[in-house]
A = this chain, B = another copy of it.
Protein backbone atom coordinates (compact mmCIF):
# COMPACT_ATOMS: atom_id res chain seq x y z
CA UNK A 1 0.00 0.00 0.00
CA UNK A 2 1.13 3.48 -0.58
CA UNK A 3 -0.35 6.85 0.32
CA UNK A 4 2.69 7.07 2.54
CA UNK A 5 4.83 10.07 1.84
CA UNK A 6 8.23 8.61 2.62
CA UNK A 7 9.74 12.08 2.56
CA UNK A 8 7.56 13.28 5.44
CA UNK A 9 8.84 11.96 8.76
CA UNK A 10 6.31 11.82 11.56
CA UNK A 11 7.23 11.80 15.21
CA UNK A 12 5.08 11.50 18.31
CA UNK A 13 6.01 13.99 21.04
CA UNK A 14 4.53 14.67 24.46
CA UNK A 15 5.04 18.44 24.58
CA UNK A 16 2.23 20.90 23.76
CA UNK A 17 2.16 22.03 20.14
CA UNK A 18 1.35 25.60 19.10
CA UNK A 19 2.86 28.20 16.79
CA UNK A 20 6.53 28.79 17.64
CA UNK A 21 6.41 26.16 20.38
CA UNK A 22 9.84 24.78 21.23
CA UNK A 23 10.01 21.03 21.74
CA UNK A 24 13.02 19.56 23.51
CA UNK A 25 13.55 16.00 22.37
CA UNK A 26 14.67 13.25 24.67
CA UNK A 27 17.94 11.44 23.88
CA UNK A 28 16.18 8.51 22.15
CA UNK A 29 14.23 10.82 19.86
CA UNK A 30 17.29 12.93 19.10
CA UNK A 31 19.21 9.79 18.22
CA UNK A 32 16.38 8.54 16.01
CA UNK A 33 16.13 11.75 14.01
CA UNK A 34 19.85 12.31 13.65
CA UNK A 35 21.23 8.79 13.30
CA UNK A 36 18.37 6.67 11.99
CA UNK A 37 16.51 9.14 9.78
CA UNK A 38 19.80 10.99 9.20
CA UNK A 39 18.15 14.40 9.41
CA UNK A 40 20.46 17.36 9.76
CA UNK A 41 20.17 20.84 11.24
CA UNK A 42 17.25 22.71 9.66
CA UNK A 43 15.39 19.61 8.45
CA UNK A 44 11.60 19.71 8.58
CA UNK A 45 9.34 16.94 9.78
CA UNK A 46 5.84 16.37 11.15
CA UNK A 47 4.95 15.87 14.80
CA UNK A 48 1.79 15.11 16.74
CA UNK A 49 1.00 14.70 20.42
CA UNK A 50 -2.50 13.26 20.35
CA UNK A 51 -4.07 16.57 21.46
CA UNK A 52 -3.01 19.50 19.26
CA UNK A 53 -3.20 18.16 15.72
CA UNK A 54 -0.24 17.62 13.42
CA UNK A 55 2.47 20.26 13.03
CA UNK A 56 5.29 20.89 10.67
CA UNK A 57 8.42 21.57 12.70
CA UNK A 58 12.05 22.42 12.04
CA UNK A 59 14.88 20.65 13.79
CA UNK A 60 17.84 22.46 15.34
CA UNK A 61 20.77 20.37 16.41
CA UNK A 62 22.43 21.23 19.72
CA UNK A 63 25.54 19.43 20.99
CA UNK A 64 23.74 16.93 23.20
CA UNK A 65 20.27 16.81 21.71
CA UNK A 66 17.89 18.18 19.13
CA UNK A 67 15.20 20.81 19.49
CA UNK A 68 12.13 21.25 17.29
CA UNK A 69 10.36 24.52 16.58
CA UNK A 70 6.72 24.38 15.48
CA UNK A 71 6.11 26.16 12.17
CA UNK A 72 2.49 25.57 11.21
CA UNK A 73 -0.35 23.17 11.84
CA UNK A 74 -0.81 20.74 8.95
CA UNK A 75 -3.95 18.98 10.26
CA UNK A 76 -6.33 19.76 13.12
CA UNK A 77 -6.73 17.23 15.89
CA UNK A 78 -9.11 14.39 15.15
CA UNK A 79 -10.32 11.54 17.29
CA UNK A 80 -10.37 7.98 16.07
CA UNK A 81 -13.66 6.12 16.16
CA UNK A 82 -14.44 4.16 19.30
CA UNK A 83 -13.03 0.70 18.63
CA UNK A 84 -11.64 -1.38 21.46
CA UNK A 85 -9.41 -4.31 20.65
CA UNK A 86 -9.39 -7.05 23.30
CA UNK A 87 -6.89 -9.86 22.86
CA UNK A 88 -5.19 -12.69 24.64
CA UNK A 89 -1.54 -11.60 24.74
CA UNK A 90 0.98 -13.44 22.58
CA UNK A 91 4.65 -13.89 23.24
CA UNK A 92 7.48 -11.55 22.22
CA UNK A 93 7.74 -10.57 18.56
CA UNK A 94 4.25 -11.72 17.70
CA UNK A 95 2.79 -9.42 20.34
CA UNK A 96 4.80 -6.49 18.96
CA UNK A 97 3.43 -7.29 15.55
CA UNK A 98 -0.15 -7.66 16.71
CA UNK A 99 -0.08 -4.32 18.54
CA UNK A 100 1.30 -2.52 15.48
CA UNK A 101 -1.29 -4.12 13.22
CA UNK A 102 -4.20 -3.31 15.54
CA UNK A 103 -3.16 0.36 15.53
CA UNK A 104 -2.90 0.44 11.72
CA UNK A 105 -6.35 -1.11 11.56
CA UNK A 106 -7.82 1.67 13.68
CA UNK A 107 -8.13 0.25 17.18
CA UNK A 108 -8.35 3.10 19.68
CA UNK A 109 -7.86 1.06 22.84
CA UNK A 110 -5.74 -2.05 23.29
CA UNK A 111 -6.83 -4.32 26.14
CA UNK A 112 -4.85 -7.48 26.89
CA UNK A 113 -7.13 -10.15 28.35
CA UNK A 114 -6.21 -13.13 30.46
CA UNK A 115 -8.23 -16.19 29.48
CA UNK A 116 -8.00 -19.81 30.59
CA UNK A 117 -5.84 -20.82 27.65
CA UNK A 118 -3.71 -17.72 27.23
CA UNK A 119 -0.11 -18.79 26.66
CA UNK A 120 1.77 -15.60 27.57
CA UNK A 121 2.32 -15.09 31.27
CA UNK A 122 3.26 -11.43 31.39
CA UNK A 123 2.72 -8.35 29.27
CA UNK A 124 5.24 -5.57 28.96
CA UNK A 125 2.93 -2.57 28.78
CA UNK A 126 5.74 -0.11 28.09
CA UNK A 127 6.84 -2.15 25.12
CA UNK A 128 3.26 -2.30 23.88
CA UNK A 129 3.02 1.50 24.14
CA UNK A 130 6.26 1.92 22.22
CA UNK A 131 4.89 -0.33 19.47
CA UNK A 132 1.62 1.60 19.40
CA UNK A 133 3.50 4.90 19.05
CA UNK A 134 5.66 3.54 16.24
CA UNK A 135 2.59 2.32 14.36
CA UNK A 136 0.76 5.60 14.94
CA UNK A 137 3.72 7.55 13.54
CA UNK A 138 3.77 5.34 10.46
CA UNK A 139 0.07 5.00 9.71
CA UNK A 140 -0.74 8.69 9.87
CA UNK A 141 -3.23 8.90 12.73
CA UNK A 142 -3.33 11.83 15.14
CA UNK A 143 -4.90 10.24 18.22
CA UNK A 144 -2.66 7.81 20.03
CA UNK A 145 -4.44 4.56 20.95
CA UNK A 146 -4.63 3.84 24.67
CA UNK A 147 -2.79 0.78 25.93
CA UNK A 148 -4.32 -0.41 29.18
CA UNK A 149 -3.23 -2.95 31.75
CA UNK A 150 -4.19 -6.62 31.30
CA UNK A 151 -7.41 -7.76 32.88
CA UNK A 152 -9.09 -11.10 33.46
CA UNK A 153 -11.87 -11.92 30.99
CA UNK A 154 -14.42 -12.59 33.69
CA UNK A 155 -13.72 -9.21 35.26
CA UNK A 156 -14.09 -7.41 31.93
CA UNK A 157 -17.38 -9.16 31.31
CA UNK A 158 -18.66 -8.35 34.78
CA UNK A 159 -18.06 -4.64 34.16
CA UNK A 160 -19.10 -4.66 30.50
CA UNK A 161 -20.95 -1.46 29.50
CA UNK A 162 -24.31 -2.44 28.15
CA UNK A 163 -24.16 -0.19 25.09
CA UNK A 164 -20.84 -1.52 23.76
CA UNK A 165 -21.24 -4.08 20.97
CA UNK A 166 -18.83 -7.01 21.32
CA UNK A 167 -17.64 -8.73 18.14
CA UNK A 168 -16.56 -12.15 19.38
CA UNK A 169 -14.23 -14.19 17.16
CA UNK A 170 -15.16 -17.76 17.89
CA UNK A 171 -14.04 -20.68 15.78
CA UNK A 172 -17.04 -22.62 17.03
CA UNK A 173 -19.59 -20.12 15.75
CA UNK A 174 -21.91 -21.88 13.35
CA UNK A 175 -23.92 -18.80 12.53
CA UNK A 176 -24.16 -17.09 9.16
CA UNK A 177 -21.07 -15.81 7.38
CA UNK A 178 -19.19 -13.03 9.18
CA UNK A 179 -20.33 -10.16 6.96
CA UNK A 180 -23.98 -11.08 7.34
CA UNK A 181 -23.50 -11.26 11.10
CA UNK A 182 -21.75 -7.88 11.23
CA UNK A 183 -24.29 -6.16 9.03
CA UNK A 184 -27.04 -7.10 11.44
CA UNK A 185 -25.43 -4.73 13.97
CA UNK A 186 -26.21 -1.10 14.56
CA UNK A 187 -23.37 0.75 12.93
CA UNK A 188 -23.38 3.63 15.35
CA UNK A 189 -22.67 1.64 18.50
CA UNK A 190 -19.33 1.80 20.28
CA UNK A 191 -17.51 -1.38 19.30
CA UNK A 192 -15.17 -3.92 20.80
CA UNK A 193 -13.51 -6.89 19.11
CA UNK A 194 -12.31 -9.90 21.09
CA UNK A 195 -9.73 -12.35 19.72
CA UNK A 196 -8.78 -15.21 21.99
CA UNK A 197 -5.65 -17.29 22.37
CA UNK A 198 -4.66 -19.94 19.85
CA UNK A 199 -6.04 -22.59 22.18
CA UNK A 200 -9.49 -20.99 21.86
CA UNK A 201 -11.98 -20.27 24.58
CA UNK A 202 -13.05 -22.50 27.41
CA UNK A 203 -16.75 -23.49 27.25
CA UNK A 204 -17.48 -21.52 30.43
CA UNK A 205 -15.81 -18.45 28.93
CA UNK A 206 -17.83 -18.82 25.75
CA UNK A 207 -21.06 -19.07 27.73
CA UNK A 208 -20.20 -15.97 29.76
CA UNK A 209 -19.45 -13.97 26.62
CA UNK A 210 -22.61 -15.07 24.84
CA UNK A 211 -24.68 -14.15 27.90
CA UNK A 212 -23.92 -10.48 27.24
CA UNK A 213 -26.73 -8.61 25.56
CA UNK A 214 -24.99 -7.18 22.52
CA UNK A 215 -22.65 -9.80 21.09
CA UNK A 216 -21.95 -10.70 17.46
CA UNK A 217 -20.29 -14.08 17.18
CA UNK A 218 -18.25 -14.59 14.04
CA UNK A 219 -16.10 -17.36 12.63
CA UNK A 220 -13.25 -16.56 10.27
CA UNK A 221 -13.45 -19.26 7.65
CA UNK A 222 -12.39 -22.88 7.38
CA UNK A 223 -8.64 -22.55 7.98
CA UNK A 224 -6.91 -22.26 11.34
CA UNK A 225 -5.64 -18.70 11.76
CA UNK A 226 -2.81 -17.60 13.98
CA UNK A 227 -4.07 -15.05 16.51
CA UNK A 228 -2.20 -12.18 14.86
CA UNK A 229 -3.72 -13.06 11.49
CA UNK A 230 -7.18 -13.21 13.03
CA UNK A 231 -6.59 -9.75 14.52
CA UNK A 232 -6.05 -8.06 11.17
CA UNK A 233 -8.77 -10.11 9.48
CA UNK A 234 -11.57 -9.33 11.94
CA UNK A 235 -10.58 -5.66 12.17
CA UNK A 236 -10.71 -5.46 8.36
CA UNK A 237 -14.21 -6.92 8.31
CA UNK A 238 -15.38 -4.64 11.13
CA UNK A 239 -13.94 -1.50 9.52
CA UNK A 240 -15.36 -2.41 6.12
CA UNK A 241 -18.81 -3.41 7.38
CA UNK A 242 -19.32 -0.98 10.28
CA UNK A 243 -16.34 1.33 10.56
CA UNK A 244 -14.32 3.97 8.76
CA UNK A 245 -13.51 2.01 5.59
CA UNK A 246 -16.95 2.84 4.27
CA UNK A 247 -17.05 6.10 2.35
- The interface of chain A, by Cβ under 8 A from chain B, is 1-4, 6, 97, 100-101, 104-106, 117, 138-141, 169, 171-172, 176-179, 195-201, 220-227, 229-230, 232-237, 239-241, 243-247
Contacts and interface: CB of A to CB of B under 8 A. Distances in A.
Nearest to A3: B171
A20 to B, nearest CB: 29
Dominant SS at the A interface? loop
Of all A-B residue pairs in the complex, the 5 with the closest CB atoms, nearest first, are A2-B200, A233-B236, A3-B171, A221-B245, A232-B232
A177 B245 contact: yes
Contact of A225 (B104, B176, B200): B104
A141 to B, nearest CB: 6
Given A2-B117, A2-B198, 7 more contacts: A1-B195, A1-B225, A139-B224, A178-B240, A179-B246, A221-B240, A233-B235
A165 B43 CA distance: 45
